[in-house]
Structure 1
Amino acid sequence: MPPNSEPSNAAAETVRRVPTLVVAYDDPQARVGERPLAVEMPVNLVYGSVPYAVMMTTPADLEDFAYGFSLTEGIVASSDEIRGVSVEDGEGGLRLLVDLVPGRLREHLARKRAISGRTGCGVCGIDDLAALPKAEPRTGREQTVTVGAVQRALTALGEAQVLNHETRAVHAAAWADRDGTLVAVREDVGRHNGLDKLIGALIRTNTDPAEGFVVITSRCSFEMVEKTASFGASVLVAISAPTSLAIERARLHDITLCAIARSDTLTLFTGRERLVLAEPSVSGQGVDPVSAL
């Protein structure tokens, strides 16, 4: 597509607005609001009817994505080797059907792909939408966390990121107890890897998921929610914003998701019943934030 032309798939939904509560640590009243979130959707790239990879993307400019991905993955050497790209609905996502010229398609299908772990936004080892990870739903967890505990954990996490202090290039995942005291911190260039390392440390020490909460320094995509649910924790705090699919999965797994968690405020997206404010009152006449979230 020419650089100055209109982007493809421009009509696709790329932003979704969700209800929120904005909580200031020093104010017992929370503000009911609304937050625009980037839409996150699984997109299955398919060559010659054979699924190749599932990537988590914003569903816009998908034709451009197919061309760029095909080149950087080494599937094609130039745009001339792609005859066309079409988009179709799939189970829980979209399929990008990439039509390669016959010679390039034969080479691609003959090549055995060695899947390497990425630090980006693919789902490693998954080549079809139906195989997307989904933790078993858990119910009956009565855990609560105070906003004060969240604030203490966030304050302590800054000093606990030893590798990031030296490199400024890694993410952190931490486990805090109910008082907000950090119990374990793990760092990695990949945000998913950092959380996997943390969960590994916790299960090796038989940590009870009901006795604390997870804090991550990265944005909160759906995989971060799924990993938290797989461990069994019911509260996840993210310093950056969540995606639309992260909100959907947090609701599915009954997880309290706090994000955009900074030194003065946090924004609550799901699971209001587990977050204990200084006082139970909530501003906003006629709005029930519990039912809204």
Structure 2
Amino acid sequence: MPLSRSLPGLSVQADGQLSVRRNLPEEVPVAVVFDGTTQAVMMASPGDIADFAHGFALSEGFIETLDQIEEFEVVEHEVGIEARFWLTGERSKALETRRRKMAGPVGCGLCGIDSLEEASRALPTVTADPRFAACEVAHATDELRANQPLHDQTRAVHAAGFLLPGQGIVLAREDVGRHNALDKLIGALARQGIDPATGAFVMTSRVSVELIQKAAIAGCPVLIAVSAPTAHALRLADQAGITIAAFARGGGFDLYSHPHRIIPEAQDVP
């Protein structure tokens, strides 16, 4: 499926009107299916679907490791895309138990839960300790911007990148949804055998609760974002041992929670 389409429009400005064509991002329903049963349907960009499905399965706890997958396929339909998993016996039984507890349909963000307590579930503590120079953090979103071809066409999608100390952005994924982009990145890292504990996630969005949850489950110790965190996201990050660098743009950033992973420089963060 195409990632974008050129569509006509009318640009209305103070000095008049002009017919235009814009490249607009595609958005399609993607069903994530385990052992023949649809677990979630989300609107997403139709690229890197295998990465998205694997990252979603990992970050939402449907699987713990890739070796719990017996078979996987992506099937395109006229109305959308199915990402189909078949799981090993024990994992399939565990998922069936989880499925029985679910009260209704699921969607993006907090998927497959049926209580407020589970929405605020305890997160694993991230103990990995990579170190980043302050200048790496300050310019991380600028570097990510250079890895966003779909954004260049449409100006309408988010991106998630993986920053390694001393190496820069080594992998990036794009999607209309910020959490979808992060799931794609997590899936791509897993499928390429790259440990999220060795680097930082870089986001083109605000920092919300579900991004902290996904980072903690993936074991990534640092999250860098171009925009603000929510107060609750910061509380969760502090509890989970995750370093948050927000408002990372224009050569600077705000540092919150577990700052020891960022190496200060004379004119930077004290």
Matched, 1:136 2:108: no
Question: What residue is the counterpart of 2:264 in the other structure?
Answer: 277
Q: Residue 149 of structure 1 contacts residue 180 of structure 1 at CA under 8 Å; is this kept in 2?
A: no
Unaligned runs of 5+ in 1: 1-111, 284-293
Matched, 1:256 2:240: no
Structure 1 or 2: more strand by fraction: 2
Question: What residue is the counterpart of 1:266 in the other structure?
Answer: 253
Question: What residue is the counterpart of 2:190 in the other structure?
Answer: 203
Q: Residue 236 of structure 1 contacts residue 257 of structure 1 at CA under 8 Å; is this kept in 2?
A: yes
Give RMSD over aligned pairs.
2.3
Matched, 1:228 2:218: no
Question: What residue is the counterpart of 1:117 in the other structure?
Answer: 107
Question: What residue is the counterpart of 1:149 in the other structure?
Answer: 136
Classify the secondary structure of the residue corresponding to 1:176: strand
Flag the 1:259–1:281 CA change in 2: closer, same or farther, 3 A: closer
Q: Residue 243 of structure 2 contacts residue 256 of structure 2 at CA under 8 Å; is this kept in 1?
A: yes
Classify the secondary structure of the residue corresponding to 1:210: helix
Classify the secondary structure of the residue corresponding to 1:245: helix
Find the partner of 1:219 among 186, 206, 217. 206
Q: 1:16-35 maps to which residues of 2 (within 5 A)?
A: none
Question: What residue is the counterpart of 1:244 in the other structure?
Answer: 231
Flag the 1:174–1:257 CA change in 2: closer, same or farther, 3 A: same
Q: Residue 137 of structure 2 contacts residue 245 of structure 2 at CA under 8 Å; is this kept in 1?
A: no
TM-score, normalised via structure 2 length: 0.57
Question: What residue is the counterpart of 1:158 in the other structure?
Answer: 145
CA apart distance, 1:142: 2.7
CA apart distance, 1:116: 5.3
Flag the 1:170–1:282 CA change in 2: closer, same or farther, 3 A: closer
Distance 2:216 2:187 in 1: 14
Unaligned runs of 5+ in 2: 1-101
Flag the 1:138–1:211 CA change in 2: closer, same or farther, 3 A: closer
Give % identity: 40
Distance 1:207 1:269 in 2: 26
Q: Residue 172 of structure 1 contacts residue 216 of structure 1 at CA under 8 Å; is this kept in 2?
A: yes
Distance 2:263 2:152 in 1: 32
* Count of matched residue positions in the alignment of Structure 1 and Structure 2: 168
CA apart distance, 1:175: 0.2
One-letter identity of the residue aligned with 1:245 = H
Q: Residue 226 of structure 2 contacts residue 249 of structure 2 at CA under 8 Å; is this kept in 1?
A: yes
CA apart distance, 1:181: 1.3
Flag the 1:247–1:180 CA change in 2: closer, same or farther, 3 A: farther
Classify the secondary structure of the residue corresponding to 2:249: coil
TM-score, normalised via structure 1 length: 0.53
Distance 2:269 2:208 in 1: 28
